Amino acid sequence: MFANVLKFILGFLLAIGILAGGSFVAALYVMNRASIPPAKPTFANDNPSVKGEAPKSAVAEGKATSKSKANVASNSTPTPSASPKTVESPKPLPPGAYPARVTWSQGLVLRSEPQMDAERLGGVGFRQKIIVLEQSQDKIWQKIRLEGTNQEGWVKAGNTKPVDKNDSQSPQPAEEQ
């Protein structure tokens, strides 16, 4: 009889131990899976993609909701500023300024200062002719003037390509970096 009671107690303790251990392992698994940070999304203006290669972001892979796709589409494409064709007297060019053309296919955001959080002044369309006036000391930003106007602002460097004086209005497709 004593042996039967001992078997019962040992079986009961063994069952409790197995349940506690299994619960502990399951809790660790759930906590570890919940603590993994999601993959960082890559946006088109963060790192220019190679020609013909799409960005590897969740939006590009179609994993975003239709609402976020609409928001990304409306926020990522700057609208070109309306620029009059004839201006009375554009400002003179500083030394070292050169004509260029926008090579980023989505256009560029024109900002008031060389900072990402600076006020947006408008946009510059793809293949639009501009004049690069200067470059920031850290070489990340370029101060530009829209050709034929006095509107100036800052854009991210590396998204423009110098052109010669005889550049036509319908250039060859731009090479991406």
The pLDDT tens digits of the residues spanning 60-96 come to 444 444 444 444 444 555 555 555 444 444 567 778 8
**What CA–CA distances, in Å, run from 50 to 53, 54, 176?**
5, 8, 7
Tokens standing for residue 44: 């088109």
C-alpha span between 114 and 16 (Å, rounded): 65
Residue 27 has pLDDT above 80, yes or no: yes
* In 31-146, beta strands by DSSP E: 98-102, 108-111, 120-124, 129-135, 141-146
Question: Where do the domains of the chain lie, and which CATH numbers do they carry?
Answer: 81-162 (2.30.30.40)
Residue 22 confidence (pLDDT): 95
Residue 21 confidence (pLDDT): 96
